[in-house]
Amino acid sequence: MLKRLLGCYLTASGIALHLAIVLLAGTLLVGKAEHTETYIRLRQAMLGPYDGVRVTPVQAGEAASLNPALGALPAGRWLKLHETRDFTRQEHGGAAFDSLRGRIMLFGSDTHRMDWGNTVRYFDVSALQWSQAYLSDPPETYRVNADGLPVAGAGVERPWAMHTFDAVAFDPACDCLLVASYPGHLDPGKPWGLRSDLWRQIRRHPTWRFHIAEGHWEALASKAEHFFPYSTAFDSARNELVGINPKGVFALTGAQPEWLRIAKGAPNAWHTATAYDAGQDTIVTYGTNARANDVWQYRRGDAAMRMMSTPGTRPPGGESVPLAYHPGLGRIVALVANVGANTTETWLYSTAADDWSRVTSADLPFAIGMNYNLLHDPRHDLLWLVANLPQDPVSVWALRLEP
């Protein structure tokens, strides 16, 4: 009897040991594989996206047109309408909305020798479809032209891949995308920088504009003011790009555009975001690298920006907080990550009243991290956002807000 019990014990112990080994091996294998593309795709097919939100089916419409299906979206919550793995979202990139064609435009790269994307990506919100202006130029084509400007491309002159942050805007008057940044992280002093002999040839980093209909880039002839890693907003009343950096408030103005300083007293901080409140004719800046929750305002004609007192409830402090003006509400919309809860909250700021209110139904179930891709679509009166967890596909979200 004792011998039999001992045999059963040894058998059970052996099975348990083997199971433990299998589980340990499986854990180690999964730990190594969980960041691979194959594992991520298999996991998503079996369990769904990491953010837990599936795509809401919406009938695609004609490109560059009004899509009635978008008008029927429920109000008050973010809906994921599209996802793709055709490219990787660039956290350091910026965005603008082409109101003439109804398209999100993305430009900017994480660089650091991990990405060389210098194309303009488009998302047609009616057709729910991504496209791009051209294939990104390989680093072998990076050079400095006869004018001392850094350019890329074979037989063309395009900007180098760069961090653009919140320094990208659409100018409907010239039908162009404005880029007021420069490739600061390709400096050879950085571990991932370019060759020092190439960098030393550069005499000027220009402000760029991309002529959308013609599909070509133009380097402005005037001296540039850079907003790396700061912010800009397009002043639709004056058709001017306004930029905020620690040196002050600047406007890109004139028939032959040039940067002029129009005020001082800007926040001494980076990773800011800025929006133009057309109803109040006011520039609004929020977010800093110190994760402050102060609001700064600038009204044209003032000598300096003002940090507001904002006595009521405020959002959590943040940096790289995307902002967009919603004309129907007369409010600035901000997406602020609640790091402790690992969510992103939707807040509305009244420029006139200097107060905040939160849209409690419009939380996103993850912290969006560095993101400058929040835009208002006047044709559909929707807010659009390009955001995703690193393991998930590039996702496009829409939000309808009603008064």
The pLDDT tens digits for 173-217 are: 999 999 999 999 999 999 999 999 999 999 999 999 999 999 999
Which residue from 320, 313, 394, 325 is spatially nearest to 358, judged by alpha carbons? 313
Q: Alpha-carbon torsion 211, 119, 167, 342, what sign?
A: positive
C-alpha dihedral, 179 to 185 to 186 to 191, nearest 10°:
-170
pLDDT at 45: 72
The one-letter code for the residue type at 403 is P
Any domain includes 289? yes
For residues 325 and 312, the answer to whether their CB atoms sit within 8 Å is: no
pLDDT at 153: 98
252/242 Cα distance (integer angstroms): 6
Alpha carbon distance 300, 318 (integer Å): 26
Q: What is the pLDDT of residue 47?
A: 84
As beta bridge partners, residue 73 has none
Distance CA 374, CA 209 (A): 21
Residue-number span of the structural domain to which 305 is assigned: 53-399
Position 378 in a domain: yes
Total domains present in the chain: 1
Whether 46 is covered by a domain: the verdict is: no
The rounded distance, in Å, linking the Cα atoms of 335 and 329 is 16
Would you say residue 36 lies in a domain? Answer: no
- Supply the DSSP symbol for 303: S
Position 125 in a domain = yes
**In this structure, are residues 375 and 383 in contact, taking their beta carbons and an 8 Å threshold?**
yes
Residue 288's CATH number: 2.120.10.80
CA distances, 403 to each of 279, 326, 351 (Å):
15, 11, 16
Q: What is the DSSP string of 326-386?
A: ETTTTEEEEEEEETTTTEEEEEEEETTTTEEEEEEEEEESS---S---EEEETTTTEEEEE
What integer pLDDT is reported at residue 22 of this predicted model?
Answer: 46
Distance between CA atoms of 352 and 338, rounded to whole angstroms?
26
Q: Evaluate whether residue 58 is within a structural domain.
A: yes
| Any domain includes 218 | yes
Residue 40 located in a structural domain: no
pLDDT for res 26: 54
Q: What is the pLDDT along the chain (403 residues), one digit of tens a residue?
A: 545 544 554 455 555 545 544 444 555 555 555 567 677 677 777 788 999 999 999 999 999 999 999 999 999 999 999 999 999 999 999 999 999 999 999 999 999 999 999 999 999 999 999 999 999 999 999 999 999 999 999 999 999 999 999 999 999 999 999 999 999 999 999 999 999 999 999 999 999 999 999 999 999 999 999 999 999 999 999 999 999 999 999 999 999 999 999 999 999 999 999 999 999 999 999 999 999 999 999 999 999 999 999 999 999 999 999 999 999 999 999 999 999 999 999 999 999 999 999 999 999 999 999 999 999 999 999 999 999 999 999 999 999 999 9
Task: Report the pLDDT value the prediction gives residue 216, as an integer from 0 to 100.
Answer: 97
Main-chain phi, psi angles of 69, to 5 degrees: -65, -30
